[in-house]
Structure 1
Amino acid sequence: MKTLSLCLLLLLSASAQATVYKYVDKDGNVTFTNVPIRGAQPIRLNPLSSYPSQHKNSGNSSGGGAAPAKPSSSFPSVDPGTQKQRDSGRRKILEQELANEQKALADAQKALTDGKATRNGDETRNYQKYLDRVQKLQDEVTDRQKNVEALRRELGQN
């Protein structure tokens, strides 16, 4: 029974690498399938490329898994001063984005307050139009609040 199961498993795994067929109908529509269709031509596909891992196991037998790969001498590195300048520039950009987003949030909140206070044109007869417009304004406020929160998290200001 085990032999039969093993043979069946091998047969199924061989069929897992199925042939791909290309079928062109009378209108010129092209269909690719793994099911043979009358008139379809089997096509040969090149195997997928694979590349060996870039880091090697250091032979660490501590049982904690493979050690992290150490950068090779050709690995680009940045001196601490340059990295500090980059971090400073990034922080300035994030702070400017935060300031812009906070201004946009204040504008969106004002637009929401003003929008709730008035009904435009046919919104007096069609209450749903009013609700839809106010909901769009509320969604804008919510989006701006999320952006401000995300920028504060990025800057570490929680």
Structure 2
Amino acid sequence: MASLALLGCGAAQAQIYKCVSPNGGIEYTDVNRGSHCKSMDLPGAVIPAPPRRQAAPARGNVPAPVSTPGDFPRVDSAEQRARDADRRGILEDELKSETQKLAELRKEFNNGEPERRGDERNYAKYLDRVAGMRDSISRSEKNIEALKREIANIR
């Protein structure tokens, strides 16, 4: 990587030296550091600059949407309605199961005071389980919100 950067310097008319140390290490530099450094002849080692990016279009100049090609496969409206109905059914099933899961989690959570288990003699274990339950409830609530948004977005 460093050698590529130094090769770019060579295009700017700087002399590049390859220095091999007595232990075999190789270093490329623009400074001659003694007899273990040899000048490199790099004709045509020009690395072009990347092309300039075009400025973002002005606010008033919104590019026209790209139309689909004529041979692009299309789905007729009856098929699309059937697909949407299938999707809605799947999402509603997921919503129903997620709602049941949330109800069970809240019941077990018992307003922040779930029953202690026999293996939780250490209070820290109990607190860890309660924190995990809070996280599960939060995650389930977010899943329900996302499912409701998806169902609302179906045509």
- Over 3 Å counting, the alpha-carbon distance change for 1:104 and 1:122 in structure 2 is closer
Larger helix percent? 1
TM-score where L is the length of structure 2: 0.55
Query: Where does residue 71 of structure 2 map in the other structure?
Result: 74
Query: Where does residue 149 of structure 2 map in the other structure?
Result: 153
Q: Give 1:122 shift.
A: 5.7
For 2:110, what is the secondary structure of its paired residue? helix
Name the aligned partner's letter for residue 139 of structure 1.
Answer: D
- Over 3 Å counting, the alpha-carbon distance change for 1:114 and 1:67 in structure 2 is closer
For 2:113, what is the secondary structure of its paired residue? helix
Corresponding residue to 1:131 among 127, 130, 137? 127
Q: Percent identical across equivalent pairs? A: 43
Runs (4+) off by over 6 Å? none
Residue 130 of structure 2 corresponds to residue 141 of structure 1: no
User: What's the RMSD between the two structures over aligned residues?
Assistant: 3.1
Q: Which structure 1 segments of 5+ residues have no match?
A: 1-10, 16-34, 37-62
Query: Where does residue 23 of structure 2 map in the other structure?
Result: none
Cα distance in 2 between the residues matched to 1:76 and 1:122: 60
Q: Give 1:116 shift.
A: 2.3
Flag the structure with larger Rg: 2
Query: Where does residue 84 of structure 1 map in the other structure?
Result: 81
Cα distance in 2 between the residues matched to 1:138 and 1:152: 21
TM-score where L is the length of structure 1: 0.54
For 2:133, what is the secondary structure of its paired residue? helix
Query: Where does residue 94 of structure 2 map in the other structure?
Result: 97
For 1:78, what is the secondary structure of its paired residue? coil
Query: Where does residue 49 of structure 2 map in the other structure?
Result: none
- Over 3 Å counting, the alpha-carbon distance change for 1:78 and 1:120 in structure 2 is same
Deviations 1:98-143 (CA, angstroms, capped at 9, x unpaired): 001101111111121198242223634x221111011111111111
Name the aligned partner's letter for residue 66 of structure 1.
Answer: P
Is this contact kept in 1: 2:114–2:130, CA < 8 A?
A: no
Cα distance in 1 between the residues matched to 2:94 and 2:119: 38
1:52-63 maps to which residues of 2 (within 5 A)?
Answer: none
Cα distance in 2 between the residues matched to 1:142 and 1:74: 47
Q: Which structure 2 segments of 5+ residues have no match?
A: 1-7, 13-26, 29-59
* Greater RCO structure (CA 8 Å; 6+ sep): 2
- Over 3 Å counting, the alpha-carbon distance change for 1:81 and 1:109 in structure 2 is same
Is this contact kept in 1: 2:109–2:133, CA < 8 A?
A: yes
